[in-house]
Structure 1
Amino acid sequence: MICSDFHPFTKISDTLNLEQPVMNYFSEDVFEGEMAHARFYDEEIRKQMPRCLCRRYTIGEFTLVAIK
């Protein structure tokens, strides 16, 4: 598992142009996306990289886990 630290606002707006889907802040959907930093490689290499499944957690969900 890879955890990335992004501001929760990126769930509802692609302000950083990461080409990631925009969704409801409370969505628990899992979506298919590119590996981290794939967009920095040439298109030919990028096509060969495997896709991954992603889910964005809210700060509240992390807090619940930390308390348990």
Structure 2
Amino acid sequence: MFREADADSSPTTTTRGGRLLTEKEVLEKMRFGRTTLYRRVKAGEFPKPIYISPNHEAHVSASRGPRP
């Protein structure tokens, strides 16, 4: 399911859907807080994180255009 990133890209784990981002990376990119992130996940406005180990979750990035 997981594969190593290409040699030209950053050394992170990727999936078919995109790069795996930590919660910290998501919050830096989206510019809102943790509570807002999980409210949006619960409301179905943001994808659910995936668990890569029992106590570690990651978000799959997706290529999107600029936010409105």
Q: Name the TM-score, length of structure 2 as normaliser.
A: 0.26
Q: Whose helix proportion is higher, 1 or 2?
A: 1
Q: Whose strand proportion is higher, 1 or 2?
A: 2
Q: Name the TM-score, length of structure 1 as normaliser.
A: 0.26
**Larger Rg, first or second structure (1 or 2):** 1
